[in-house]
């Protein structure tokens, strides 16, 4: 992107390719949702687990380019992590994407959706 673009190259690539996006088919998935009304950000996160760890991750997202790119980045980092420890290093995600401070709150929508999906999945596994 040009030096005047508000979006980093990483945001541009992840926004364009959105790896891991979509609604999964098949059994064994649980999902969680979160919203932020003012910006109308809406995230639904899907998780599949094996042995208490994330086996696969998908997401649906309505949001700004930074939010969409963050979802794509995070989805790629969850596999293998224990359901009981899916906390995100949001400052690092923001730094990797060049996310402006004013939008930092939108990343919490992703974190909340993941936490809710993990909670559902953990309850089902128990």
Partner 1 sequence: MSADPIYLDYAATTPLDPRVRAAMLACLESPPGNPAATHAAGRAARARVEAARAEVASLIAAPPAAIVFTSGATEADNLAILGAARGNAVRGRHLVSVRTEHRAVLDACGRLEREGFAVTLLTPDRQGLVDPGALRAALTPATTLVSVMLVNNETGVVQDVAALAAECRRRGALLHVDAAQAAGRIPIDVVALDVDLLSLSAHKIHGPVGIGALYVRREPRPTLVPLQFGGGQEGGLRSGTLAVHQIAGMGAAFRLAAAEGPPESARLEGLRDRLWRALEMLPGSHLNGHPVHRAPHILNVSFEGVDGEALLFALDDLALASGAACSAESGEPSYVLRALGRDDALAQASLRISLGRPTTVGEVDTAAARIRAAVERLRSLAPA
Q: What is the binding site for partner 1 (CB under 8 A)?
A: 7, 15, 18, 21, 23, 33, 37-44, 60-65, 67-68, 102-103
Strand partners, 61: 43
For residue 86, the minimal CB distance to partner 1 (Å) is 19
Instruction: Give the side-chain half-sphere CA count within 13 A for 55.
Output: 11
Q: 8 or 53, CB closer to partner 1?
A: 8
What is the four-CA torsion angle of 108, 40, 65, 95, rounded to 10 degrees?
-20
Strand partners, 113: none
| Strand 41-50 versus strand 29-36 pairing type | antiparallel
Q: 53 or 96, CB closer to partner 1?
A: 96
For residue 49, the minimal CB distance to partner 1 (Å) is 21
Q: 93 or 109, CB closer to partner 1?
A: 109
For residue 40, the minimal CB distance to partner 1 (Å) is 4
């Amino acid at each position: 992107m040009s030096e005047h673009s508000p979006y980093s190259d990483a945001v541009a690539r992840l926004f364009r390719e959105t790896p891991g996006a979509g609604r999964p088919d098949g059994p064994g998935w649980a999902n969680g949702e979160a919203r932020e009304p003012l910006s109308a950000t809406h995230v639904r996160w899907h998780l599949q687990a094996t042995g208490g760890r994330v086996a696969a991750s998908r997401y649906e997202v309505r949001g700004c380019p930074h939010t969409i790119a963050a979802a794509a980045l995070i989805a790629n980092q969850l596999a293998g992590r224990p359901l009981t420890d899916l906390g995100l290093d949001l400052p690092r995600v923001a730094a990797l994407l060049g996310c402006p401070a004013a939008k930092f709150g939108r990343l919490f929508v992703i974190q909340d959706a993941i936490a809710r999906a993990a909670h559902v999945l953990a309850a089902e596994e128990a």
